[in-house]
Protein backbone atom coordinates (compact mmCIF):
# COMPACT_ATOMS: atom_id res chain seq x y z
CA UNK A 1 0.00 0.00 0.00
CA UNK A 2 1.34 3.39 -0.98
CA UNK A 3 2.27 5.75 1.84
CA UNK A 4 0.35 3.88 4.52
CA UNK A 5 1.15 1.13 7.00
CA UNK A 6 -1.61 -0.93 8.55
CA UNK A 7 -1.85 -3.26 11.52
CA UNK A 8 -4.76 -5.52 12.43
CA UNK A 9 -6.04 -5.61 16.00
CA UNK A 10 -8.48 -8.06 17.56
CA UNK A 11 -10.23 -7.74 20.90
CA UNK A 12 -12.58 -9.87 23.00
CA UNK A 13 -15.41 -7.98 24.67
CA UNK A 14 -18.56 -8.98 26.55
CA UNK A 15 -21.72 -9.20 24.49
CA UNK A 16 -23.47 -7.55 27.44
CA UNK A 17 -21.17 -5.15 29.24
CA UNK A 18 -23.38 -5.47 32.32
CA UNK A 19 -22.45 -9.17 32.41
CA UNK A 20 -18.66 -9.20 31.89
CA UNK A 21 -18.45 -12.88 32.84
CA UNK A 22 -21.00 -13.88 30.20
CA UNK A 23 -20.77 -14.47 26.47
CA UNK A 24 -18.00 -12.65 24.62
CA UNK A 25 -17.75 -11.52 21.00
CA UNK A 26 -14.82 -10.54 18.81
CA UNK A 27 -14.02 -7.03 17.59
CA UNK A 28 -11.74 -6.17 14.70
CA UNK A 29 -10.04 -2.84 14.09
CA UNK A 30 -7.32 -1.81 11.68
CA UNK A 31 -4.65 0.74 12.57
CA UNK A 32 -3.53 3.10 9.82
CA UNK A 33 -0.53 5.42 9.98
CA UNK A 34 1.47 7.39 7.44
CA UNK A 35 4.87 6.23 6.26
CA UNK A 36 5.87 9.90 6.45
CA UNK A 37 6.50 8.95 10.08
CA UNK A 38 9.13 6.40 11.01
CA UNK A 39 7.94 3.25 12.73
CA UNK A 40 9.16 4.59 16.06
CA UNK A 41 7.58 8.01 15.59
CA UNK A 42 4.29 6.50 14.43
CA UNK A 43 4.15 4.36 17.55
CA UNK A 44 4.34 7.51 19.67
CA UNK A 45 1.49 9.29 17.92
CA UNK A 46 -1.79 9.65 19.82
CA UNK A 47 -4.75 7.54 18.73
CA UNK A 48 -7.79 8.69 16.79
CA UNK A 49 -10.78 6.34 16.85
CA UNK A 50 -13.04 6.63 13.80
CA UNK A 51 -16.68 5.64 14.25
CA UNK A 52 -18.35 4.89 10.93
CA UNK A 53 -21.89 5.75 9.88
CA UNK A 54 -24.59 3.13 9.90
CA UNK A 55 -25.69 1.32 11.96
CA UNK A 56 -24.37 -1.92 10.57
CA UNK A 57 -21.62 -0.61 8.28
CA UNK A 58 -18.05 -1.87 8.64
CA UNK A 59 -15.05 0.45 8.90
CA UNK A 60 -13.46 1.86 5.76
CA UNK A 61 -10.80 -0.12 3.92
CA UNK A 62 -8.11 1.94 2.23
CA UNK A 63 -4.95 1.28 0.24
CA UNK A 64 -3.65 4.84 0.44
CA UNK A 65 -4.29 7.82 2.67
CA UNK A 66 -6.49 10.50 1.17
CA UNK A 67 -9.14 12.97 2.27
CA UNK A 68 -9.74 13.17 6.01
CA UNK A 69 -7.52 10.15 6.67
CA UNK A 70 -4.53 11.87 5.06
CA UNK A 71 -5.19 14.95 7.21
CA UNK A 72 -5.62 12.89 10.38
CA UNK A 73 -2.50 10.80 9.76
CA UNK A 74 -0.33 13.90 10.07
CA UNK A 75 -0.97 13.90 13.82
CA UNK A 76 -2.58 10.58 14.74
CA UNK A 77 -2.63 6.84 14.43
CA UNK A 78 -6.09 6.05 13.09
CA UNK A 79 -8.02 3.13 14.54
CA UNK A 80 -10.71 2.07 12.05
CA UNK A 81 -13.25 -0.04 13.93
CA UNK A 82 -15.57 -2.67 12.53
CA UNK A 83 -18.37 -2.01 14.99
CA UNK A 84 -19.89 -5.06 16.62
CA UNK A 85 -21.86 -7.10 14.11
CA UNK A 86 -19.95 -5.84 11.06
CA UNK A 87 -16.89 -6.64 8.96
CA UNK A 88 -14.33 -8.90 10.65
CA UNK A 89 -15.96 -8.42 14.04
CA UNK A 90 -18.43 -11.10 15.15
CA UNK A 91 -21.05 -10.69 12.45
CA UNK A 92 -24.78 -10.30 12.81
CA UNK A 93 -26.50 -11.01 9.50
CA UNK A 94 -29.07 -13.23 7.79
CA UNK A 95 -26.68 -16.20 8.05
CA UNK A 96 -25.47 -15.86 11.64
CA UNK A 97 -28.56 -14.46 13.36
CA UNK A 98 -30.80 -17.51 12.77
CA UNK A 99 -28.06 -19.56 14.45
CA UNK A 100 -28.84 -17.63 17.65
CA UNK A 101 -32.18 -19.45 17.91
CA UNK A 102 -35.73 -18.13 17.78
CA UNK A 103 -36.63 -14.64 16.58
CA UNK A 104 -37.13 -13.67 20.23
CA UNK A 105 -33.60 -14.86 21.03
CA UNK A 106 -32.24 -12.98 18.02
CA UNK A 107 -34.01 -9.78 19.10
CA UNK A 108 -32.65 -10.14 22.63
CA UNK A 109 -29.14 -10.55 21.20
CA UNK A 110 -29.48 -7.44 19.02
CA UNK A 111 -30.40 -5.27 21.98
CA UNK A 112 -26.65 -5.18 22.65
CA UNK A 113 -25.71 -3.58 19.33
CA UNK A 114 -26.54 0.07 19.92
CA UNK A 115 -24.33 3.07 20.68
CA UNK A 116 -24.02 2.40 24.42
CA UNK A 117 -22.43 -1.00 23.73
CA UNK A 118 -20.15 0.47 21.05
CA UNK A 119 -18.89 3.07 23.54
CA UNK A 120 -18.18 0.37 26.13
CA UNK A 121 -16.35 -1.61 23.43
CA UNK A 122 -14.23 1.44 22.64
CA UNK A 123 -13.18 1.91 26.24
CA UNK A 124 -12.06 -1.72 26.52
CA UNK A 125 -10.10 -1.36 23.28
CA UNK A 126 -8.48 1.85 24.50
CA UNK A 127 -7.38 0.12 27.68
CA UNK A 128 -6.02 -2.86 25.73
CA UNK A 129 -3.99 -0.54 23.51
CA UNK A 130 -2.65 1.35 26.51
CA UNK A 131 -3.92 4.61 25.09
CA UNK A 132 -4.41 7.84 26.97
CA UNK A 133 -7.77 9.54 26.35
CA UNK A 134 -8.10 9.63 22.60
CA UNK A 135 -9.67 11.70 19.86
CA UNK A 136 -12.97 10.29 18.63
CA UNK A 137 -14.20 11.20 15.15
CA UNK A 138 -17.77 10.20 14.33
CA UNK A 139 -19.56 10.42 10.98
CA UNK A 140 -23.38 10.20 10.88
CA UNK A 141 -24.35 7.32 13.21
CA UNK A 142 -20.74 7.43 14.36
CA UNK A 143 -21.51 10.96 15.53
CA UNK A 144 -24.46 9.61 17.51
CA UNK A 145 -22.04 7.17 19.14
CA UNK A 146 -19.65 10.05 19.87
CA UNK A 147 -22.44 11.89 21.70
CA UNK A 148 -23.05 8.71 23.69
CA UNK A 149 -19.31 8.59 24.42
CA UNK A 150 -19.44 12.17 25.75
CA UNK A 151 -22.37 11.08 27.93
CA UNK A 152 -21.18 7.71 29.20
CA UNK A 153 -17.36 7.75 29.21
CA UNK A 154 -16.04 11.29 28.70
CA UNK A 155 -12.94 10.42 30.71
CA UNK A 156 -11.82 8.32 27.72
CA UNK A 157 -11.87 11.25 25.28
CA UNK A 158 -9.30 13.92 24.53
CA UNK A 159 -11.58 15.59 21.97
CA UNK A 160 -14.70 14.84 19.95
CA UNK A 161 -15.18 15.58 16.24
CA UNK A 162 -18.58 15.03 14.63
CA UNK A 163 -19.75 15.33 11.02
CA UNK A 164 -23.42 15.02 10.08
CA UNK A 165 -24.18 13.28 13.34
CA UNK A 166 -25.74 15.40 16.08
CA UNK A 167 -28.61 13.18 17.16
CA UNK A 168 -31.72 14.36 19.01
CA UNK A 169 -31.21 13.67 22.69
CA UNK A 170 -34.75 12.47 23.31
CA UNK A 171 -37.49 10.65 21.43
CA UNK A 172 -39.83 9.67 20.08
CA UNK A 173 -38.44 8.88 16.62
CA UNK A 174 -41.52 10.29 14.88
CA UNK A 175 -40.05 13.78 15.25
CA UNK A 176 -36.96 12.70 13.34
CA UNK A 177 -38.97 11.39 10.42
CA UNK A 178 -41.30 14.38 10.21
CA UNK A 179 -38.20 16.54 9.81
CA UNK A 180 -36.35 14.29 7.40
CA UNK A 181 -39.37 13.67 5.16
CA UNK A 182 -39.61 17.44 4.72
CA UNK A 183 -35.88 17.60 3.93
CA UNK A 184 -36.15 14.76 1.40
CA UNK A 185 -39.14 16.41 -0.29
CA UNK A 186 -37.17 19.65 -0.63
CA UNK A 187 -34.18 17.76 -2.02
CA UNK A 188 -36.44 16.04 -4.58
CA UNK A 189 -37.64 19.47 -5.72
CA UNK A 190 -34.05 20.70 -5.98
CA UNK A 191 -33.04 17.62 -7.95
CA UNK A 192 -35.91 17.85 -10.43
CA UNK A 193 -35.14 21.52 -10.96
CA UNK A 194 -31.58 20.54 -11.78
CA UNK A 195 -32.65 17.64 -14.03
CA UNK A 196 -36.21 18.43 -15.13
CA UNK A 197 -36.30 15.53 -17.58
CA UNK A 198 -35.87 13.12 -14.67
CA UNK A 199 -39.25 14.06 -13.20
CA UNK A 200 -40.98 12.32 -16.10
CA UNK A 201 -38.41 9.51 -16.04
CA UNK A 202 -39.11 8.62 -12.39
CA UNK A 203 -42.87 8.67 -12.92
CA UNK A 204 -42.51 6.56 -16.06
CA UNK A 205 -40.44 3.95 -14.22
CA UNK A 206 -42.91 3.83 -11.34
CA UNK A 207 -45.91 3.37 -13.64
CA UNK A 208 -44.03 0.78 -15.68
CA UNK A 209 -43.28 -1.24 -12.53
CA UNK A 210 -47.00 -1.17 -11.68
CA UNK A 211 -47.84 -2.81 -15.00
CA UNK A 212 -44.86 -4.95 -15.93
CA UNK A 213 -42.95 -7.50 -13.91
CA UNK A 214 -39.27 -6.62 -13.86
CA UNK A 215 -36.75 -8.68 -11.92
CA UNK A 216 -33.49 -7.76 -10.24
CA UNK A 217 -30.39 -9.89 -10.92
CA UNK A 218 -30.94 -11.37 -7.45
CA UNK A 219 -34.18 -12.90 -8.71
CA UNK A 220 -36.92 -10.95 -6.97
CA UNK A 221 -39.42 -8.58 -8.53
CA UNK A 222 -38.59 -4.88 -8.47
CA UNK A 223 -41.57 -3.03 -7.02
CA UNK A 224 -42.30 0.69 -7.35
CA UNK A 225 -41.74 1.31 -3.64
CA UNK A 226 -38.42 -0.48 -3.73
CA UNK A 227 -37.29 1.53 -6.73
CA UNK A 228 -38.00 4.69 -4.71
CA UNK A 229 -35.03 3.76 -2.51
CA UNK A 230 -32.72 5.21 -5.18
CA UNK A 231 -33.51 8.48 -3.40
CA UNK A 232 -30.54 7.62 -1.19
CA UNK A 233 -28.45 9.29 -3.92
CA UNK A 234 -30.01 12.61 -2.91
CA UNK A 235 -27.96 12.62 0.29
CA UNK A 236 -24.73 13.61 -1.45
CA UNK A 237 -23.28 16.51 -3.37
CA UNK A 238 -21.99 14.58 -6.35
CA UNK A 239 -24.15 11.49 -5.96
CA UNK A 240 -27.12 13.41 -7.36
CA UNK A 241 -25.33 13.40 -10.70
CA UNK A 242 -24.83 9.65 -10.38
CA UNK A 243 -28.61 9.34 -9.92
CA UNK A 244 -29.15 11.18 -13.19
CA UNK A 245 -26.80 8.81 -15.01
CA UNK A 246 -28.58 5.84 -13.44
CA UNK A 247 -31.99 7.05 -14.63
CA UNK A 248 -30.88 7.84 -18.17
CA UNK A 249 -30.03 4.14 -18.65
CA UNK A 250 -33.41 2.95 -17.41
CA UNK A 251 -35.19 1.79 -20.56
CA UNK A 252 -34.18 -0.49 -23.40
CA UNK A 253 -36.08 -1.12 -26.63
CA UNK A 254 -37.23 -4.75 -26.59
CA UNK A 255 -39.22 -5.50 -29.77
CA UNK A 256 -40.99 -2.17 -29.49
CA UNK A 257 -42.10 -2.73 -25.88
CA UNK A 258 -40.74 -0.78 -22.96
CA UNK A 259 -38.53 -2.89 -20.72
CA UNK A 260 -36.01 -1.82 -18.11
CA UNK A 261 -32.48 -2.27 -19.37
CA UNK A 262 -30.06 -4.85 -17.97
CA UNK A 263 -27.56 -2.04 -17.36
CA UNK A 264 -30.10 -0.26 -15.16
CA UNK A 265 -31.26 -3.37 -13.31
CA UNK A 266 -27.69 -4.55 -12.69
CA UNK A 267 -26.91 -1.31 -10.82
CA UNK A 268 -29.89 -1.47 -8.46
CA UNK A 269 -29.09 -4.28 -5.99
CA UNK A 270 -26.31 -2.24 -4.39
CA UNK A 271 -28.82 0.58 -3.83
CA UNK A 272 -32.07 -1.20 -2.92
CA UNK A 273 -30.79 -4.14 -0.86
CA UNK A 274 -29.55 -4.43 2.72
CA UNK A 275 -27.81 -7.74 2.05
CA UNK A 276 -24.41 -6.40 3.15
CA UNK A 277 -25.68 -4.47 6.18
CA UNK A 278 -28.91 -6.01 7.55
CA UNK A 279 -28.29 -4.39 10.94
CA UNK A 280 -29.15 -1.09 9.31
CA UNK A 281 -32.67 -2.29 8.54
CA UNK A 282 -33.06 -4.07 11.86
CA UNK A 283 -31.77 -1.36 14.17
CA UNK A 284 -32.15 1.92 12.29
CA UNK A 285 -35.22 3.14 14.16
CA UNK A 286 -33.93 1.90 17.52
CA UNK A 287 -31.00 4.34 17.41
CA UNK A 288 -33.54 7.08 18.17
CA UNK A 289 -35.34 5.20 20.96
CA UNK A 290 -34.88 5.73 24.67
CA UNK A 291 -37.70 4.20 26.69
CA UNK A 292 -40.19 3.96 23.84
CA UNK A 293 -40.96 1.59 20.98
CA UNK A 294 -40.40 2.66 17.40
CA UNK A 295 -43.36 0.64 16.07
CA UNK A 296 -42.24 1.44 12.51
CA UNK A 297 -42.28 5.18 13.10
CA UNK A 298 -41.21 6.08 9.55
CA UNK A 299 -44.13 4.14 8.05
CA UNK A 300 -46.60 5.90 10.34
CA UNK A 301 -45.18 9.33 9.57
CA UNK A 302 -45.16 8.53 5.84
CA UNK A 303 -48.97 8.76 5.89
CA UNK A 304 -48.58 12.50 6.57
CA UNK A 305 -46.60 12.91 3.32
CA UNK A 306 -48.79 11.54 0.51
CA UNK A 307 -46.40 12.87 -2.14
CA UNK A 308 -44.15 9.89 -1.32
CA UNK A 309 -46.90 7.30 -1.92
CA UNK A 310 -46.05 5.05 -4.90
CA UNK A 311 -49.45 5.86 -6.46
CA UNK A 312 -49.06 9.64 -6.10
CA UNK A 313 -49.39 11.50 -9.44
CA UNK A 314 -45.66 12.23 -9.47
CA UNK A 315 -44.18 10.19 -6.60
CA UNK A 316 -41.08 11.41 -4.83
CA UNK A 317 -37.98 9.33 -4.13
CA UNK A 318 -37.43 8.33 -0.50
CA UNK A 319 -34.46 8.72 1.83
CA UNK A 320 -32.90 6.43 4.43
CA UNK A 321 -36.15 5.48 6.19
CA UNK A 322 -36.81 1.80 6.88
CA UNK A 323 -40.23 0.17 6.36
CA UNK A 324 -41.56 -3.27 7.34
CA UNK A 325 -42.07 -4.26 3.71
CA UNK A 326 -38.27 -4.39 3.35
CA UNK A 327 -38.52 -7.71 5.16
CA UNK A 328 -40.97 -9.04 2.55
CA UNK A 329 -39.25 -7.81 -0.62
CA UNK A 330 -35.50 -8.05 0.09
CA UNK A 331 -34.58 -11.78 0.06
CA UNK A 332 -31.65 -11.15 2.39
CA UNK A 333 -34.03 -9.74 5.01
CA UNK A 334 -36.93 -12.19 4.68
CA UNK A 335 -35.45 -14.63 7.26
CA UNK A 336 -35.30 -11.75 9.76
CA UNK A 337 -38.87 -10.50 9.38
CA UNK A 338 -40.19 -11.73 12.73
CA UNK A 339 -37.03 -10.54 14.47
CA UNK A 340 -37.55 -7.08 12.98
CA UNK A 341 -41.13 -6.97 14.21
CA UNK A 342 -40.01 -7.86 17.74
CA UNK A 343 -37.31 -5.17 17.72
CA UNK A 344 -39.83 -2.58 16.50
CA UNK A 345 -42.03 -3.47 19.48
CA UNK A 346 -39.32 -3.12 22.17
CA UNK A 347 -40.54 -0.40 24.55
CA UNK A 348 -37.88 -0.41 27.25
CA UNK A 349 -34.73 0.69 25.45
CA UNK A 350 -32.16 2.11 27.83
CA UNK A 351 -30.77 5.65 27.70
CA UNK A 352 -28.18 6.58 25.10
CA UNK A 353 -27.41 10.08 26.36
CA UNK A 354 -26.92 11.74 29.72
CA UNK A 355 -28.29 15.26 29.35
CA UNK A 356 -26.79 16.42 32.64
CA UNK A 357 -23.35 15.11 31.72
CA UNK A 358 -23.53 16.78 28.31
CA UNK A 359 -24.54 20.06 29.94
CA UNK A 360 -21.40 19.83 32.11
CA UNK A 361 -19.13 18.61 29.29
CA UNK A 362 -15.45 19.58 29.48
CA UNK A 363 -14.17 17.61 26.46
CA UNK A 364 -13.26 19.91 23.54
CA UNK A 365 -15.81 19.16 20.83
CA UNK A 366 -16.65 20.44 17.36
CA UNK A 367 -19.33 19.44 14.88
CA UNK A 368 -20.06 20.08 11.21
CA UNK A 369 -23.79 20.56 10.61
CA UNK A 370 -24.93 20.46 7.00
CA UNK A 371 -27.78 22.91 6.36
CA UNK A 372 -29.61 20.71 3.85
CA UNK A 373 -28.78 17.27 5.25
CA UNK A 374 -31.64 14.88 4.40
CA UNK A 375 -30.51 12.24 6.90
CA UNK A 376 -29.70 14.24 10.05
CA UNK A 377 -31.92 17.30 10.23
CA UNK A 378 -30.19 20.65 10.67
CA UNK A 379 -32.75 22.09 13.12
CA UNK A 380 -32.68 19.01 15.35
CA UNK A 381 -28.87 19.03 15.23
CA UNK A 382 -28.69 22.63 16.40
CA UNK A 383 -31.11 21.87 19.25
CA UNK A 384 -28.73 19.17 20.40
CA UNK A 385 -25.67 21.40 19.98
CA UNK A 386 -26.88 23.97 22.52
CA UNK A 387 -27.29 21.15 25.06
CA UNK A 388 -23.61 20.17 24.94
CA UNK A 389 -21.42 22.53 26.92
CA UNK A 390 -18.52 23.87 24.90
CA UNK A 391 -19.53 22.20 21.62
CA UNK A 392 -18.53 24.43 18.72
CA UNK A 393 -20.66 24.19 15.58
CA UNK A 394 -19.67 24.91 12.02
CA UNK A 395 -22.81 25.03 9.89
CA UNK A 396 -22.31 24.93 6.14
CA UNK A 397 -24.48 24.60 3.04
CA UNK A 398 -21.48 23.63 0.91
CA UNK A 399 -21.84 19.91 1.64
CA UNK A 400 -24.49 17.28 2.15
CA UNK A 401 -24.44 14.26 4.43
CA UNK A 402 -21.40 12.72 2.77
CA UNK A 403 -19.28 15.87 3.11
CA UNK A 404 -16.17 14.04 4.26
CA UNK A 405 -16.22 12.11 0.97
CA UNK A 406 -16.18 15.40 -0.94
CA UNK A 407 -13.55 17.39 0.97
CA UNK A 408 -12.63 15.38 4.03
CA UNK A 409 -9.22 17.00 4.44
CA UNK A 410 -10.65 20.51 4.80
CA UNK A 411 -13.57 19.45 6.99
CA UNK A 412 -11.46 17.37 9.36
CA UNK A 413 -8.73 20.02 9.59
CA UNK A 414 -11.25 22.73 10.37
CA UNK A 415 -12.93 20.75 13.15
CA UNK A 416 -9.60 19.73 14.65
CA UNK A 417 -8.46 23.36 14.70
CA UNK A 418 -11.71 24.39 16.40
CA UNK A 419 -11.05 21.98 19.27
CA UNK A 420 -7.48 23.20 19.62
CA UNK A 421 -8.59 26.80 20.09
CA UNK A 422 -11.45 25.99 22.46
**Would the pLDDT of 236 be above 90?**
no
| pLDDT confidence of residue 33 | 96
Residue 240: pLDDT band (50, 70, 90) is confident
- Pairwise CA distance, residues 413 & 1, whole Å: 24
- Pairwise CA distance, residues 153 & 262, whole Å: 50
**Would the pLDDT of 254 be above 60?**
no
**Would the pLDDT of 313 be above 70?**
yes
Q: At what angle do helices 103-110 and 337-345 cross, to 10 degrees?
A: 50
203-229: average pLDDT: 96
Q: Which CATH superfamily is domain 4-169+353-420 in?
A: Alpha/Beta hydrolase fold, catalytic domain (3.40.50.1820)
217-232: average pLDDT: 96
Return left, alpha or beta for 242; rule: phi > 0 is left, psi -120 to 50 is alpha, else beta: alpha
Domain extent listing, the chain: 4-169+353-420, 174-345
Q: Residue 125: helix, strand or coil by DSSP?
A: helix
- Residue 10's DSSP bridge partners are 28
Q: Is the dihedral of CA 232, 236, 240, 246 positive or negative?
A: negative
Nearest Cα neighbor of 379 from 393, 361, 360 is 393
| pLDDT confidence of residue 312 | 96
| pLDDT confidence of residue 46 | 98
The CA R_g of the chain, rounded to the nearest whole Å, is 22
**Would the pLDDT of 255 be above 60?**
no
| pLDDT confidence of residue 397 | 95
What's the pTM value of the predicted model, to 2 decimals? 0.96
Phi, psi of 361 (to 5 degrees): -55, 140
Angle 296-299-304 from CA coordinates, rounded to 5°: 135
373-382: average pLDDT: 96
- Pairwise CA distance, residues 345 & 282, whole Å: 12
Catalytic residues: 140, 348, 401
Asked whether 64 and 406 are in contact (CB, 8 A), the reply is no
Structure-model confidence comparison of residues 1 and 117, the more confident one: 117
| pLDDT confidence of residue 319 | 81
Angle 3-42-362 from CA coordinates, rounded to 5°: 115
| pLDDT confidence of residue 256 | 59
Task: Mention every residue, 6+ apart, whose C-beta is less than 8 A from residue 222.
Answer: 209, 214, 215, 216, 260, 265, 268, 272
| pLDDT confidence of residue 98 | 95
Lowest mean pLDDT segment, chosen from 112-116, 132-136, 249-253, 289-293: 249-253
**Would the pLDDT of 320 be above 90?**
no
Q: What is the pLDDT of residues 122-174, one digit of tens each?
A: 999 999 999 999 999 999 999 999 999 999 999 999 999 999 999 999 989 99
Task: Mention every residue, 6+ apart, whose C-beta is less than 8 A from residue 107.
Answer: 339, 342, 343, 346
Per-residue buried b or exposed e for 374-390, using 16+ beta carbons within 10 Å of the residue's own CB: bbbbbebbeebbebbee
Q: What is the pLDDT of residues 42-91, one digit of tens each?
A: 999 999 999 999 999 999 999 899 999 999 999 999 999 999 999 999 99
| pLDDT confidence of residue 398 | 95
Amino acid sequence: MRGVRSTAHRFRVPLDHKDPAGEHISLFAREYSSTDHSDADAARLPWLLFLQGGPGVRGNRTTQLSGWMKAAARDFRILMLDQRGTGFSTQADSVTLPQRGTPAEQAAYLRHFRADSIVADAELMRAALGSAPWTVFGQSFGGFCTLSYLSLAPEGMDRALITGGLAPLAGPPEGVYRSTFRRVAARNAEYFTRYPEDRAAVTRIMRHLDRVEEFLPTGERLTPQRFQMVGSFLGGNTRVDALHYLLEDAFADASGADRLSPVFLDQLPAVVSRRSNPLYALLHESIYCQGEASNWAALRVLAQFPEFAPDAPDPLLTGEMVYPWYFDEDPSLVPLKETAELIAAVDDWGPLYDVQQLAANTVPAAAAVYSDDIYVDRDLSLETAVSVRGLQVWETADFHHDGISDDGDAIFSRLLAMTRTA
